[in-house]
Amino acid sequence: MGIGATAGAAAVGGLALSANASDASGTPSDALVFDKDAYTELTTTVTDAAGNDKEVVYHFWKALTYVADPVDAKYQSLNVSVPVRIDGVAVNAKDAPVLLANSVGGYLPSSVADATGVGGGGTAGLPAGGASASPGATASSGGGTGEVQSGGNAMLNGRGETVDLAKPALAAGYVVVEPGARGRTLTDADGTYYGTAPAAIVDLKAAVRYVRANKGVIPGDTDRIVSTGTSAGGALSALLGASGDSRAYDSRLDELGAADASDAVFAVGAWCPITDLEHADGAYEWNWGGNVTQSTGEVVDQKVSKELRAQFAEYQASLKLRGLKGFGPLTARNYDEYLVKTYLQPSATAYLAGLSDVDRAAYLADNTFITWSGGRATFSWADFLTHVGARKKSAPAFDAFDLSSGENNEFGKDKTQARHFTAYGMKHDTTGVSGSRPDVDIPGKLDLMNPMHHLEKANPGRSRHWWIRLGTKDSDTSLTVSANLAAALDGLGDDVDHLYYWDEGHGSNTDPGDFIAWIARVTRHGKRAGK
């Protein structure tokens, strides 16, 4: 039995835990049955996208363990919030979309156990460096020691204000599910890591299965689950959408006693996804390699940068992707042109068009690299890189030679805190690790953690609706990562809404109201209910 579980049954989150996820008929066991009456009624005030305050009365279910045999119930539990009155008007959320808002940051642990209401988001790691915070930024349970950083579901809008999608979703009449998940720094009393890859995605799949197994009992349309997340949480949201119902996770889900139900989600919202990790170093150098200085003032090793850029060119060619809007094949040679024409110039144009004449003139005077003509912004890729300035990360950005990155920790195993996950990182190791290639289990775990792997195979259980966002000044990752994700999805015929926020950094969300409206549109909420 895992941490937080005892032999037989244990009471966690108001549920009796048993050893089995379902009975012979496939019906959820008592451990995984949603108790519709075990809620607390709460009231919150939400400011919508138009700046109007709405009073929302909702029912709140706290810390429901979503697997029958948890490794650590503190993290493997979820909260449910269901609106019942909005501004005094009764709401029937029976057919409402379900927003599944994960609060993972930095691939660190996320727990909802201490949340006091919707949007509490629990505790999560969202360090300033994205997923690449040091392995020492720890969270613990079961005898370990460390720090849990506050993250929640929050992002930042263009005014530096916090955006939490859970509350506006609730105010729109949607059901909100906030799952916790294990993360890379969790250790038991013996020092064994139990939250490294692929624990987080397995947990989120188990949470989806719990919701779907309780169809007709848990409020909301469990066939219309919309997953959201930011940074590493954005990567996991994309992975959840890409890998729906993949059998590759079944044995791990069975070990947890996950419900016998689908783990496919209907739609995905992914903000600045830190993903495609085995190719992220090359992508980062292709994008930001021209900016030789980090924000710390350190000059990046140019030999390493050049070698990694060559890796990206080879990888990009192997994908055989075509750009959106008829651009044609995407290669390392034309990707700069693609980003400028398809994303960056339209992003700058939208930003400038939204300013007053006075503010636009002032911005253009400060940023003379932009040509503003006919209501359209144009500039070169080189000038854009100069505009962004110093890069956030060193080289390699993800598989650090000294095993110091959060991603190295994400691929730790047993009592080994951090491991290399690329042959290049292994070759240049500075810690004394022997061998020429990563450990034999690494390739399989990379497949389980990379949405591109599932999209290359055109997984039939994937989501068909995608909302993907990234800030143009986000040098926590490469701009090509989300663009490749969007191109792969578009090539499969999926509905893709992908854009970049001009002059915004990591964790930005400047159009939350549009996203809430997008959910209603793609799920046909209201129309399906005959409204």
How confident is the model over 258-291, as pLDDT tens digits? 999 999 999 999 999 999 999 999 999 999 998 8
**DSSP per-residue letters across 171-228:** HTT-EEEEE-B--TT-BBTT--B-S-TTHHHHHHHHHHHHHHHTBTTBSS-TTSEEEE
Q: Which of 21-30, 129-138, 146-155, 187-196 has the lowest mean pLDDT?
A: 146-155
Class of domain 277-454: alpha beta
Question: Which pTM value belongs to this model?
Answer: 0.90
CA distance 163 to 154: 5
* DSSP H or E run through 485: helix 479-491
- Residue 470's φ and ψ, nearest 5 degrees, are -155, 145
Yes or no: domain 11-275+510-523 corresponds to CATH 3.40.50.20: no
500-524 average pLDDT score: 96
Rounded-to-integer distance, Cα 457 and Cα 447, Å: 11
Average pLDDT, stretch 451-455? 98
The average pLDDT across 350-372 equals 98
- 20: confidence class by pLDDT, cuts 50, 70, 90: very low
Spatial separation of the C-alpha atoms in residues 243 and 273, rounded to whole Å: 15
Q: Which residues contact 183 (CB under 8 A, 6 or more apart)?
A: 75, 104, 106, 107, 108, 109, 110, 125, 139, 195, 199, 200
Q: What is the rounded distance in angstroms from the CA atom of residue 258 to the CA atom of residue 445?
A: 20
Position 134 scores a pLDDT of: 54
Partners of 64 in beta bridges: 78
Confidence of residue 434 (pLDDT cuts 50, 70, 90): confident
Does the pLDDT at position 158 exceed 60?
no
Specify the pLDDT at position 31: 83
Q: Are 69 and 2 in contact (CB under 8 A)?
A: yes
Minimum mean pLDDT range among 138-147, 162-171, 352-361: 138-147
Lookup: tokens for 32:
């995984």
Bond before 451 cis per omega within 30 degrees: no
Q: Which positions ≥6 away from 361 have C-beta within 8 Å? A: none
Q: Tell me how far apart the alpha carbons of residues 485 and 468 are, in angstroms, rounded to a whole number.
A: 9
Per-residue pLDDT of 406-428, as tens digits, reads 999 999 999 999 999 999 999 99
- Domain boundaries defined on the chain: 11-275+510-523, 277-454
| Percent of the chain residues topping a pLDDT of 70 | 85
Structure tokens at 256: 């947890």
Residue with tokens 């783990």: 263
Of 397, 231, 435, residue with least CA distance to 312: 397
Q: What is the DSSP letter of 341?
A: I
Amino acid at 333: R
User: What letters, b where the CB count within 10 A reaches 16 and e where it falls short, cover 408-418?
Assistant: bbbbbbeebbb
User: Quick one: pLDDT at residue 95?
Assistant: 95
Topology alike, domains 11-275+510-523 and 277-454: yes
pLDDT at 156: 56
What's the token pair of residue 275?
Answer: 């993903």
pLDDT digits (tens, 9 = 90+) for 227-251: 999 999 999 999 999 999 999 999 9
- In the predicted model, is pLDDT for residue 149 greater than 90? no
How big is the chain, counted in residues?
531
> How confident is the model at residue 297, as a pLDDT?
87
- Residue 290's pLDDT is what? 87
How far is 351 from 362, CA to CA, in rounded Å? 13
Q: Which residues contact 531 (CB under 8 A, 6 or more apart)?
A: none
Residue 133: pLDDT over 80: no
Residue 130: pLDDT over 60? no
| Mean pLDDT across 4-25 | 36
Query: Does the pLDDT of residue 474 top 90, yes or no?
Result: yes
List C-alpha distances in Å: 209 to 50, 264, 507. Answer: 35, 8, 28
- Identify the three-state secondary structure at position 309: helix
Q: What is the pLDDT of residue 121?
A: 56
Instruction: Inform me whether the pLDDT recorded for 25 exceeds 80.
Output: no
Residue 99: pLDDT band with limits 50, 70, 90: very high
pLDDT at 150 over 80: no
| pLDDT, averaged across the chain | 89
